[in-house]
Amino acid sequence: MAQIKTVNPATEEEIASYDMMSEREAFDTVEACHKAFLDWRGKTHEERAPYLKKIAEALRANKDELAELMTRETGKLLKDGRTEVEICAAIFDYTAEQGPKVLADEERTHGKGKEGLVSYQPIGVIYSIQPWNFPLYQPVRVLAANLMAGNGCVLKHASICTGSGLRLRDLCLEAGLPENLFSVLLIDHDTSDKIIEHKRVRGVTMTGSDGAGRHIGAKAAENLKKSVLELGSNDAYLVLEDADIETAVKFSVMGRLYNNAQTCVSAKRFIVTDKVYDKFVEAFVEQMKQIPMGDPTDGDTKLGPLSSQEQLETVADQVKKSVEKGAKVLCGGEAADRKGAYYPATVLSELAPGMPAYDDEIFGPVASVIRAKDDEDAMRIANDSRYGLGGGIFSQDQERAKKLARDHFDTGMIRINSFGAADPNMPFGGVKDSGYGREHGGFGMKEFVNIKAVFMP
């Protein structure tokens, strides 16, 4: 029987092994989820809310255990794991509190003042395909929204964090969630495609690379099923001519290295206007050089290992190819000579189209610094990307920065003079090759519902 093996990327030691499901077992899991959904859909939003509150309580009660598990499986800093658990609990709380209002029936009129009703009705089993960089947060943002909407959910998690996915399921059950309403599938890619085709699956949501998103999106469309895709990006952070350099450097370092630099919405390209280029780069490189890399369980560590040896090799190859095409290494640039998937904080300059560090997403601690002639040129370069997830602007004129963000930045999310990953009350998602659909902010609760119109005579 095929197995999934999880490995600690900091020590290269095997953690656990899991038997993969047969196609029949996977299909039976989907059928069981559908059966559980048929009961769950009959509850009101107000009746569903306490279940979500209890899951939030269970997450907080097991915060240290969950953080330690995520650190073992993915190498994320232990303190970041604790923060992730709290974010997940907050998402369940927010969804429980706001869901009944967001999904409430709406009274409308039709014709010449006749009564009409718009109702947001659940549709069935939602298939959630999630990556490893946030082992709890990625599945939770789908799960919370769809439980409130009245749907069931089956999760195919990244294999390297299988334990985290299964522990989330167990905690939901311990918190009182009906059995089979949320299940985890331990399956390969071929079986996954068949799950998308399964008649009980009514929607597909996936977070991952744009390449994987194309495949999942095409398979869902082929089967006439709605999909939500949250894909990669090479988010640009603009350092404008009037930027406060100290602020820009502080949040640029934070934005590039958060979660061991493995975040879809992290700062990756730093587009710096000529007027402040030298000052910013000097200070930025100096701080990146000083980042302590090491054991993710050590509170003094600022940069842990990448999630796997495979990920380390991918990042190293992207840097190598960029340098071969003319990029200049200002610091870092070589994998650490030690056990574990460690890659140092790296800054590259002299970048141009055609280089991985300019065109693509580097899912690791590599910052791409690009010189712009002026503010207008910086905005042009930022939008000159096939991606459009997030971005940022550093400027002391916050009103102007807000206008640039609102009217000109071609992405789904923009930070001004700051950095952050996600907030339950703000929509999360992108445009272009970064995908489509939105999560959080109430928007995710309406992605997989039947928006039903009822016309009264």
Q: Are 388 and 431 in contact (CB under 8 A)?
A: yes
Q: What is the pLDDT of residue 421?
A: 85
Task: Report which residue type is found at 397.
Answer: D
Terminal C-alpha separation, the chain: 60
- In what helix (H) or strand (E) does residue 17 lie, and over which residues does it extend? strand 14-19
Q: What is the pLDDT of residue 228?
A: 98
The catalytic residue among 33, 88, 172, 264 is: 264
Distances in Å between the alpha carbon of 229 and those of 119, 148, 167? 25, 20, 25
Computed over every residue of the chain, the mean pLDDT equals 97
User: Roughly what angle, to the nearest 10 degrees, separates helices 277-289 and 245-261?
Assistant: 40
Whether 230 is catalytic is yes
The two three-digit tokens of residue 286, written as one number:
């100096």
Q: Which residues contact 186 (CB under 8 A, 6 or more apart)?
A: 4, 18, 19, 20, 21, 162
Q: What is the mean pLDDT of residues 382-404?
A: 98
Model pLDDT for residues 315-368, shown as the tens digit of each residue = 999 999 999 999 999 999 999 899 999 999 999 999 999 999 999 999 999 999
Cβ count near 178 (within 10 Å) = 16
The residues with which 237 forms a beta bridge, in sequence order, are 270, 392
pLDDT at position 381 over 90: yes
Distances in Å between the alpha carbon of 146 and those of 93, 207, 425, 448? 14, 16, 16, 7
| Nearest CA-CA partner of 127 in 181, 208, 37, 202 | 202
Distances in Å between the alpha carbon of 411 and those of 233, 240, 265? 10, 18, 11
Locus of tokens 């994987």: 212
The catalytic residue among 230, 361, 439, 447 is: 230
Model pLDDT for residues 277-301, shown as the tens digit of each residue = 999 999 999 999 999 999 999 999 9
The separation between CA 3 and the C-alpha centre of its own chain, rounded to angstroms, equals 26
* High-pLDDT (> 90) share of the chain, %: 99
The two three-digit tokens of residue 234, written as one number:
């090479």
* High-pLDDT (> 70) share of the chain, %: 100
CA angle 190, 162, 339 (to 5 degrees): 110
Task: Report which residue type is found at 229.
Answer: L
| β pairing state of 14-19 and 346-349 | unpaired
The residues with which 367 forms a beta bridge, in sequence order, are 347
Q: What is the pLDDT of residue 451?
A: 98
Q: What is the pLDDT of residue 296?
A: 97
- In what helix (H) or strand (E) does residue 107 lie, and over which residues does it extend? strand 106-110
Model pLDDT for residues 92-123, shown as the tens digit of each residue = 999 999 999 999 999 999 999 999 999 999 99
Model pLDDT for residues 240-288, shown as the tens digit of each residue = 999 999 999 999 999 999 999 999 999 999 999 999 999 999 999 999 9
* Distance of alpha carbon 212 from alpha carbon 194, whole angstroms: 16
* Distance of alpha carbon 236 from alpha carbon 197, whole angstroms: 37
- pTM, two decimals, is 0.97
Q: What is the DSSP letter of 150?
A: T
* Distance of alpha carbon 271 from alpha carbon 55, whole angstroms: 42
Q: What is the pLDDT of residue 1?
A: 77
Whether 88 is catalytic is no
Q: What is the pLDDT of residue 399?
A: 97
